[in-house]
């Protein structure tokens, strides 16, 4: 393994694979099975915490071939000890996010953990719940195929655009004014693939609308709505217009929720400090 490979940060893809493996390994539901696989005695009817070194041994013994073959090939390593420090760092972040809970020490520098956090059925369909651990940049990579630039022509015939997010196999959720402010193109691009718009509609009072498209090969990744709280971290993703650029790019802006108001239209809104530009309209807001 090259020295650079040892020092280079793990990619989001590798980190989330490792994080999911850690969460599953330390789950009380997997405790007995993992003790048996590792050859560690366990008292009947008791959950005995496993440790960081147990997890490294779990990888080194290739008890989970699909995981270990992926890691060893991707990282060009022969032993999990080569990435031990990065595994320990990831565990610290999982603890800070209250996903793993410290459960004692086997010996010096060999901490034990349990996974005690519960997830909804919808959250379990994907790994968005790892955002507090891996950051918004991971979330952008993960959701990029689902964030859509909506294109069309305004009343003057000029190119116009907004943003939407794919929430099912055929529905793109966006703002009402994105649809009402332009004539939407019959063809849209989803993750490099051309799809046909077969229906569009929007609410007359609430700024919400949708486009219905033909088959988008959508995979449910656990998108769900959440209740914002004051000073919560937030990120907005969309396709704003960028001066002197040949084409719009998917951009992420980070901020925080600053407060809540009721608009003159009677609807409730929350204010955030991230900068939204023309073209961002309809893009999803992600809470950290």
- Separate counts of helices (H) and strands (E) for the chain: 9, 14
pLDDT of 6 strictly over 60: no
On average, the pLDDT of the chain sits at 88
pLDDT of residue 268: 87
The whole-number pLDDT of residue 34 equals 94
Residue range 152-176, pLDDT digits in tens: 998 888 888 999 999 888 899 999 9
pLDDT at 77: 86
Please give the average per-residue pLDDT across 2-8, as a whole number: 54
Binned at pLDDT 50, 70 and 90, residue 78 comes out as: confident
What mean pLDDT do residues 90-105 have?
94
Q: pLDDT grade, residue 106 (50/70/90)?
A: confident
Q: What architecture is the 138-287 domain classified under in CATH?
A: Beta Barrel (2.40)
**Mean local confidence (pLDDT), 259-263:** 90
In the chain, ranges of CATH 2.40.10.120 domains: 138-287
pLDDT value of residue 187: 92
Residue 7 has pLDDT above 70, yes or no: no
Q: What is the pLDDT of residue 1?
A: 44
On the CB side of 151, CA atoms within 13 Å amount to 15
Cα separation, 79 vs 77, whole angstroms: 6
pLDDT in tens, 189-210: 888 889 999 999 999 888 999 9
Query: Quick check: 50 and 112 in contact, CB under 8 A?
Result: yes
Token readout for 7 is 């020092």
Mean pLDDT value across residues 25-38: 93
Tally the C-alpha atoms within 13 A of residue 170's C-alpha that lie toward its C-beta.
Answer: 9
Burial class (CB in 10 A: 0-12, 13-18, 19+), 30: middle
Range 123-128 contact pairs with CB under 8 angstroms and sequence separation of 24 or more: 123/222, 123/224, 124/222, 125/220, 125/221, 125/222, 126/220, 126/221, 126/222, 126/223, 127/16, 127/19, 127/20, 127/221, 127/222, 128/221, 128/222, 128/223, 128/224
């Amino acid at each position: 393994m090259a020295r650079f490979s040892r020092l280079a940060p793990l990619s989001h893809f590798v980190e989330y694979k490792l994080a999911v493996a850690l969460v599953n390994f330390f789950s009380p539901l997997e405790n007995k099975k993992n003790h048996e696989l590792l050859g560690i005695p366990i008292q009947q009817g008791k959950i005995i915490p496993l440790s960081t070194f147990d997890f490294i041994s779990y990888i080194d013994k290739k008890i989970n071939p699909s995981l270990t073959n992926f890691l060893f090939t991707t990282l060009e390593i022969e032993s999990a000890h080569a990435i031990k420090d990065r595994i320990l760092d990831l565990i610290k972040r999982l603890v800070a996010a209250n996903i793993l809970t410290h459960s004692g020490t086997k010996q010096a520098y060999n901490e034990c953990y349990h996974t005690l956090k519960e997830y909804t059925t919808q959250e379990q369909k994907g790994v968005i719940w790892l955002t507090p651990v891996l950051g918004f940049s991971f979330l952008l990579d993960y959701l990029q195929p689902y964030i859509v630039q909506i294109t069309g022509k305004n009343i003057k015939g000029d190119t116009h655009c907004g943003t939407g997010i794919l929430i099912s196999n055929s529905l793109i959720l966006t703002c009402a004014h994105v649809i009402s402010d332009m004539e939407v193109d019959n063809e849209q691009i989803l993750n490099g693939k051309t799809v046909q718009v077969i229906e569009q509609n929007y609410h007359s009072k609430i700024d919400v609308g949708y486009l219905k498209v033909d088959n988008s090969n959508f995979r449910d990744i656990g998108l769900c709505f959440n209740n914002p709280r004051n000073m919560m971290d937030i990120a907005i993703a969309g396709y704003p217009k960028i001066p002197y650029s040949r084409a719009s790019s998917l951009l992420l802006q980070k901020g925080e929720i600053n407060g809540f108001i009721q608009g003159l239209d009677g609807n409730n809104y929350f204010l955030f400090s991230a900068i939204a530009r023309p073209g961002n309209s309809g893009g999803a807001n992600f809470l950290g």
